[in-house]
Amino acid sequence: MEGPSLEGGGKAVMFVVLFNRSLQAGKMNIEPLVSYFSKLLPLDEREVEILKAVFTEKMVLRRKYLLQEGGVCQYNSFVVEGCFRMYMVDSQGKEHNLQFAIENWWMLDMESFYFGTPSRLNIEAMEPSMVLQIKKEDQFKLFTDYPKFNRIFRVLAENALIASQKRVLLTISSTAEERYLDFLDRYPQLVNRISNVQIASYIGVTPEFLSAIRKKMAKS
């Protein structure tokens, strides 16, 4: 049986609240991003002001895209509210989830973003969402003019590389149950936010096989 649906009106209400809050404020809410960066390295007033200048706010409806296959990834996106999945579609038309991003996570196709190449990936909102986005040239300017951001993004890139290597190793050397346990460890907040179909796609099994894994784990 699939997990909770995201069709309910609650998510739509949340999106309206976020949109109205942004309109009422009359300006972008940069505080979640400032708080995120400050946990890595404290920012001074000048650095906070440059973030306001180079990031833009974007609302994304459920099932709408930040990136679609064939397009070039123009932005690095920081998730303020909501949930996204990154997936590819194989030659048989089957979708394969590669990554999820929720609040305080980043989402981009790194190859397309840095090299300007057409993407093979799709980034879709699974809930009504809000992101803060930065263009490649502005991100590079941050690196050059504000060395603190260079250090911060280097740490983020290193963490992303480690996570990617771990995922490859899990894919080629672990059982489906081990991959499911890794999903629970990596995305504990997502278990009740996305369906079994999406989880199954991420760990590379059918929804029916995932249900069998969960029943086995419940009995043990």
pLDDT digits (tens, 9 = 90+) for 113-165: 999 999 999 999 999 999 999 999 999 999 999 999 999 999 999 999 998 89
Q: What is the pLDDT of residue 2?
A: 32
pLDDT at 18 over 70: no
Q: Look at strands 56-60 and 106-107 and give their pairing.
A: unpaired
Rg (CA), the chain: 18
The tokens for 27 are 């300006």
Number of structural domains found in the chain? 1
Residue type, 31: E
DSSP state of 119: P
pLDDT tens per residue across span 83-92: 999 999 999 9
Q: Is residue 1 part of a domain?
A: no
Are 78 and 106 in contact by the 8 Å Cβ rule? The answer is yes
Residue 47 maps to which CATH number?
2.60.120.10
How do 122-125 and 84-89 pair as beta strands?
Answer: antiparallel
Reply yes or no on whether the pLDDT at 211 is more than 90.
yes
Question: Long-range contacts for 109-118 (Cβ within 8 Å, ≥24 apart)?
Answer: 109/67, 109/73, 110/73, 110/160, 112/67, 112/71, 112/72, 112/73, 113/73, 113/74, 113/75, 113/76, 116/72, 117/72, 118/69, 118/70, 118/71, 118/72
Query: Encoding tokens for residue 105?
Result: 């996570």
CA distance 202 to 126: 14
Query: What's the confidence (pLDDT) of residue 177?
Result: 93
pLDDT of residue 4: 33
Mean pLDDT over each residue of the chain, to the nearest integer:
89
Which stretches of 26-105 are assigned E, i.e. beta strand? 56-60, 65-67, 75-81, 84-89, 95-101
Q: Is residue 149 part of a domain?
A: yes
169/15 Cα distance (integer angstroms): 37
| pLDDT (average), residues 31-56 | 95
Q: What is the pLDDT of residues 119-132, one digit of tens each?
A: 999 999 999 999 99
Residue 72 located in a structural domain: yes
What gap in Å lies between CA 36 and CA 168, rounded to an integer?
Answer: 28
End-to-end Cα separation, the chain, in angstroms: 20
pLDDT for the residue 186 = 86
Q: Which domain holds residue 215?
A: 9-219
Within a domain: residue 4?
Answer: no
